[in-house]
Every structure is written in C-alpha cells, then in structure tokens.
Amino acid sequence: MTTAYKVKNVFHPWLAYLGSFFLAIIYGTVLGLSDYFVFKKWAIGKSQGVIIIIKGIYYFVILAIVFMFIRHVYWDYFVLPQSVELRLLINEETWSHLFKFLAIYTLAMGLVVSFINQMNQRFGPGILIPLLLGKYHRPHKEERIFIFLDLKSSTSIAEKLGHIQYSELIRNCFQDINLATSHYQAEIYQYVGDEVVLSWPVHDDTNPLVVIDFYFECKETFEGKRDFYLGQFGVVPEFKAGAHIGWVTGVEVGEIKREMAFHGDTINVAARIQGLCNEYDADLMISSELRSRTTFKTRYNCTRIDDVDLKGKKEKLDLYRISAVQLETKSQ
C-alpha cells in the first residue's frame, strides 16, 4: 500500500540560494586565506606530492566543517521552521549524497587548481594567461624592464661550501627573492646558475622605481635573515644587479620542453651592466634610459658614471650607481 503526502509549496527558493551562497563564500574565503597566509610559506622546499596530499586533506576537512554548519545550523534553524514538510523531501540520505557530490567536486577542482598553480610556477607569474591566450604563439614586440641579479663572490663561496651546501644556499636565496616578486609584480624570466633574471612589462603608468624598490627589498630580506644564513652557511648572501629598459620580442619556443623566450638588445645591455658592478664598486647599476624614466624617492642616492664601455656596443653609455641612503646610514 502506497501512502501519498501532500507537501505544501511554502519553501522559498531564495533560502536555497542563500545557503549555496554561504557555502561558497565561507569555503572560498577560508581556502583563499589559508593558501595566502599558511600554505604559501609552508610549501617552500616541500615536494609537490606532499603539497597536493596535505592540501587535499585540508580542503576535505574544511568542506566537512562548512557542510555540517550548513546542514545542522542554517538548515535546521532557518529553513525547516518555515517548512517542516521539507523533511519528507530532503532526508539524511539526500544530505549524504549531496556531501559525496561536493567531496568529488572539491577533489576534481583541487586537482585542476593544483595543475594551474604548477603551470603558473613553471612559466612564472603573469605569463600563464598570455600563453593560454596565444599572445606569444607568434613573436610579440613589447617594452619591458629587465634586472639581472648575480650572487657576489660566488666562486669563493662555492669553494668554501662545496657543491651540496652551495646549492642549498642558492635555493634559499632564490626562495627569499621569490617572496618579493608578487608584492612588486615581478615576473621571473630565468634562473641561470647563481643568477636570476626578472622583468616587468611597461605600461603607461609604470614607474621603473619598482625595480629599485624590489632590489633593496631583497637586500633587506637577506640582512634580516643574517643569523639564519650565518648559522647555516657561514655567509650572508649579497647580490649585485644591473637593470635596463627597452623593447624586446617575446615568443614561445620549444616543442618537447616549451618555455618563454625574450630576444633583443635590451637583455644583453642589462646583463652587461650587471657585469660592471664589481668594476665600479656598485651593488645596483641602471642605464641612463631607465634613470630618465624613473621618479626617485629621497631614500636613494643616484650617482652618474660617464662614458662607460659596454661589450658589443659601439657607443659609450652613461650608467648610474644606485645606493640606499637608509642602509648607508645604518652601516656608519
């Protein structure tokens, strides 16, 4: 014998929409804050497999907590009082199926997000979207700022530490440099031995001062971790750097191992400026082109160096040695 129940249509759809909205906002906010404030630093030095497993477990636990809140607080105390008959339509079995569906969805989206993050780390921040849109499928001309950072006294440090410890030092240095890239919207172009190359696309509102601020932020970071580096490696890393602005051509190259490549004299000039830092006793040197387009702060000293010969350039160039007033004051 079948029993039929007449269910009154007193359920307002906006309650379901509101519940979905709460679930999305709470879950998304918790995961976003966790990724930015917890996992971003925790993941440094961890293997990708460990990161994916730990984050997957964490996402599942957060989903369960939020789901229980929606199920036992929002639903029982805000929805059901308006329509008790809903218990006949949405029972415990329905909630169980819904949770399984959300768990599978979270797992699938977690894998997609992890893949996107890995691709973003592979090509560097700011590069993945243009690559997906095909911006660099054909050679694309654009104006960029490049800075080359190279570890000072790298040969003597490598001889002192040996290959393994030296590689650990370089890895730690690059990790600390990477932490500043997002704040200054820098794009990592290449790692070459103990050298890292970064770039910024030039827009109408771009102030090249961001390059100088970025360099001294990294310098202050190493100084702030002096005890760590001395304890681990017996040395506090210092980087010399050269920066230049100009037009380059960007193109996606390679089939088996695909990557971004920039071509142009701008990159060569920036590299050669960095190579002159020792000769002119400078931590950071920039080209006259970059200097002319930079609005300086009072915290920096800018000293002109006239008629400098750059390898491969017929004409002599003017360069500028940049130093930080605050750092100089501290050292005196």
Q: Write the CB contacts of 44 (distance below 8 Å, at least 6 apart in sequence).
A: 175
The dihedral over CA atoms of 29, 107, 56, 183, expressed in degrees to the nearest 10, equals: -50
Let me know: does 108 contact 27? Beta carbons within 8 Å: no
**Positive/negative CA dihedral, 120, 125, 127, 133:** positive
What pLDDT score was predicted for residue 327?
Answer: 46
What pLDDT score was predicted for residue 259?
Answer: 75
- 26 backbone dihedrals φ, ψ, rounded to 5°: -65, -50
pLDDT digits (tens, 9 = 90+) for 183-204: 898 988 989 889 999 999 998 7
Between CA 260 and CA 87 the distance in angstroms is 57
Would you list the domain boundaries of the chain? 13-123, 128-331
What pLDDT score was predicted for residue 100?
Answer: 82
Residue with tokens 């050269």: 242
pLDDT digits (tens, 9 = 90+) for 268-314: 999 999 999 999 999 999 999 999 998 887 889 999 998 887 777 77
Let me know: does 308 contact 272? Beta carbons within 8 Å: no
| DSSP code, position 74 | I
Let me know: does 283 contact 240? Beta carbons within 8 Å: yes
Nearest to 122 by CA among 260, 263, 262: 260
Please determine, for residue 256, whether its predicted confidence score (pLDDT) is greater than 90.
Answer: no
Length of the chain equals: 332
CATH class of 128-331: alpha beta
How many beta carbons lie within 10 A of that of residue 270, not counting itself?
27
Q: Write the CB contacts of 203 (distance below 8 Å, at least 6 apart in sequence).
A: none
pLDDT-above-90 percentage for the chain = 38
Please determine, for residue 10, whether its predicted confidence score (pLDDT) is greater than 50.
Answer: no
Between CA 67 and CA 71 the distance in angstroms is 6
Nearest to 237 by CA among 224, 248, 249, 246: 224
Between CA 269 and CA 95 the distance in angstroms is 64
What pLDDT score was predicted for residue 314?
Answer: 74
Strand partners of residue 11? none
What pLDDT score was predicted for residue 98?
Answer: 77
**Positive/negative CA dihedral, 85, 88, 94, 96:** positive
